[in-house]
Amino acid sequence: MKCDEAAEFVSALCDGELIPRAEAEHIGTCPACQLLMREYIEMGAELRRVASLEGAESTTPRVWSGPESLFANWWKRGWRTMRIPRLAFVTLIAAIAVLGSSLALVKVRAHSEGTVLVLKVARPDAEPVACPLSTRDRNYATCGFFGTTNGKNIGYKIDLLGHDGSRVQLGVRTKNLGARTGPEDLADIQGEPQQEVDFEPGETLKIDMPGTGMLTVTGEWFDHMPAFIGTGSNREIDPQANELRMVMPLLLRDGTLVGDLEGASATAPDLAAVIVYIRGEGLFILSPTPVKGAVKAHVNLSRITFNEDAHAYTFLTGVPVTRSNHLWVLHNAGFKPSSQMDSKFWITTFDVNKLPSEWTSSAR
């Protein structure tokens, strides 16, 4: 079978329609048809995104706040009609939701190959963390990480310095932060000495972090910025037990878009909390367990809703948030970050039993 003959059914498959076996078998093994399907899905997601944001920014907040919002309606239709296996539908919706909530990332999609190097950086005792570096977009030429490894708080920052064909030159900085915890800033690491290393996908790079072990780096080229750059369990559709995931969240207040984390994500394991700061909106502590002063929020797959001070808030995320149907949200509208931390937004995870007092003290 030729791709041209199957193309119409690629479109139908995007819509969850049943298609003939021969076409299905071809599409299932044809990279070109799968790419076409991905493009169709992406176009649809962007249409929904535009439609949704226009609705959110207009004076018709019911588009978002009502029970028949576009996304909710779409979900319900999918579940109800069930033309494709439920898991497949969930997978499709999750993919679309991710794409739909990551317009900024999708915009850097390139039409030639090899413009985005996605590194996988593994600490000695942890799953690899994805680090996407674009050769074309300076906004995505740096990545970093803060966390604990071998009982020590560490951070690293990787810059894409240049590339020659598929070979790249990376600038790597690492820092042992000692007992410091909490959200950090890549500027903290900027003063550390930079190691310049050459790397090519296919190789395995070892980077020494003095006193904490080795970082193991692998990578591969993508022809676009992946819509979803999570790692480990982030890639799964179903959240893991006791996991709380905020993937590329949008925040709506009374149906109006007030926050877009532009692709930033965080996954909190083991009943930890996710902390979201949005300039102008304050700090949101989302916890799977009760927190003093927090309001109970309802979770419906990729949507978190809660009410506070006569306002209706909704977080929309790229994938289902948690296995639970509720969580607790502590909103500190008066939170003032330090000047160093006063970026447009940030997101991190934190032990809910060790929340800094400045995060919770002036919360309503």
Q: Can you give the binding site for other proteins, defined by CB under 8 A?
A: 7-8, 11-12, 14-15, 17, 39-40, 43-44, 46-48, 50-51, 70, 73-74, 77-78, 81, 104-105, 107-111, 115, 136-137, 139-140, 262
Minimum CB separation of residue 40 from other proteins in Å reads 5
Cα–Cα dist 234/265, whole Å: 10
Minimum CB separation of residue 318 from other proteins in Å reads 17
For other proteins, give the closer residue by CB, 63 or 130: 63
- Tokens 């995104």, located at residue: 49
Minimum CB separation of residue 14 from other proteins in Å reads 8
Minimum CB separation of residue 310 from other proteins in Å reads 30
Minimum CB separation of residue 339 from other proteins in Å reads 20
For other proteins, give the closer residue by CB, 105 or 275: 105
For other proteins, give the closer residue by CB, 77 or 86: 77
For other proteins, give the closer residue by CB, 313 or 346: 346
Minimum CB separation of residue 321 from other proteins in Å reads 22
Q: How many C-beta atoms lie closer than 10 Å to residue 270's C-beta?
A: 13
Q: Which amino acid is at 72?
A: A
For other proteins, give the closer residue by CB, 117 or 217: 117
For other proteins, give the closer residue by CB, 116 or 319: 116
